[in-house]
Structure 1
Amino acid sequence: MQNLLHPGEVSVPRHLAIIMDGNGRWAKKRGMMRLMGHRQGAKAVTRTVEFCASHGVSILTLFAFSSENWKRPPEEVSGLMDLFASVLKSERDRLHKNNIKVKFIGDLSRFSDKLKNAIASLEQLTEHNSAMILNIAINYGGRWDIMQAAKSLVSDALANNIALEDINEQSIQQRLAVIEDVDLLVRTGGESRISNFLLYQCAYSEFYVCDALWPDFDEEQIQLAFTYFNSRERRFGMTSEQIAKK
């Protein structure tokens, strides 16, 4: 594999977010059940997490299950829940050994008590790890995230814990499930849409789409995404001339 990352030459995004798309299509192309694609996709998650942690990414947020994914066939949803539980068990020690802090974001209320307990256990185990933060978005939607932040602020305002003038962009962001802005958003599978993912946090992120289906996403694909990220001029509303003077 061509080594595209050279220390001191290519910087990595501080916060990388990935929409992991294409598991079902990967399986369909091979005449397999969709769930087999999700199982192969879990292997791509392991590769990606370990690569990012070893190359200096501070925060990695993965879109594992959206709030809209409940609309999928019941057998696929059930299989995904079983797969989540299996991966949590099989990857638990590896994540902790690699010093990765794991956080689950989204509305967890719809999951079984067994799965919620496994989630809480992994979060507690890795709470003080510091190599990288891994956010796993399950039953997550960007609109839900903004809504729950707004409700939290309104509740505090009604209780006179905060004043109305204290509600601003910063206070809203502090109530989001993920408070850090995204530097690079990657979507696999060739689709060019954000799919209700980290809507607030992606306001100024770079967007990279690759044709590789998620189970085929590997280290070379990540390196290509990082190289693309380095080619971008991040102006945040300013001009190129202003950026050059900074």
Structure 2
Amino acid sequence: MKVLIVEDDARVSSFLERGLKAEGYRPQVAHNASTGVLLAKALQKDVRENFESAVVILDVMLPDGSGLDVCQTLRAEGFSLPVLMLTALNSVEDRVAGLRMGADDYLGKPFAFDEILARLEALGRRVGNTAPKQARKNLEVADLKLDLEKMRLSRAGREIQLTAKELALVELLMSAPGRLFSRERILSNVWGVNEDPLTNVVDVYIRRLRAKIDLEGLPPLIHTQRGLGYRLESLKTSDS
């Protein structure tokens, strides 16, 4: 799915662009209202011609105008793609104003990256099973086992001592074996960080987990996809 990000804050737009790209989306960025309008119209034309899906993430406070006015103008001209308003103005009145101007959803700053993903999935969803998944008491990947009740990790029958953050990180990775987790998603889930803190904390903790889990003589389970993120799965060889 394509995502147009209309956001003037370079730090936020870069964080979203990199994170969404790592999650499999095709993001495009505009840093002002005028460019956003042009790209939004081009995006709708492309969607209609190629039968694709797309969502617009639109910041309210832009340097050359209001995102609310942008949304209202686009809707008046027949723009039909879903619009997610993103803003630091998050009072009830602000949310109501955004929805009345034609927004499909409204999310305040600071935001959790996972919530952005969930809202994009909801806006882009046309069909799909939304039944909740059944809870599991244990997670297993090859000979790596995590007891979620006791929060104990073991590999090949040997218990591994982890800190709270290390446990949270390994639980996230084991929750979807083989799935690529971007640094942005890991930061949001494990540290509750909603913007890139320009730190290598994720890489440091991945190295710690590797030292404890990927022991000599055992096949590696934690793998790196350079520039994108990390996955945990059982492979014969590692690409990291």
Length-normalised TM-score, structure 1 = 0.30
Length-normalised TM-score, structure 2 = 0.31
Structure with greater Cα Rg: 2
Highest relative contact order (Cα 8 Å, sep 6+), 1 or 2?
1
More helix, by proportion: 1
More strand, by proportion: 2
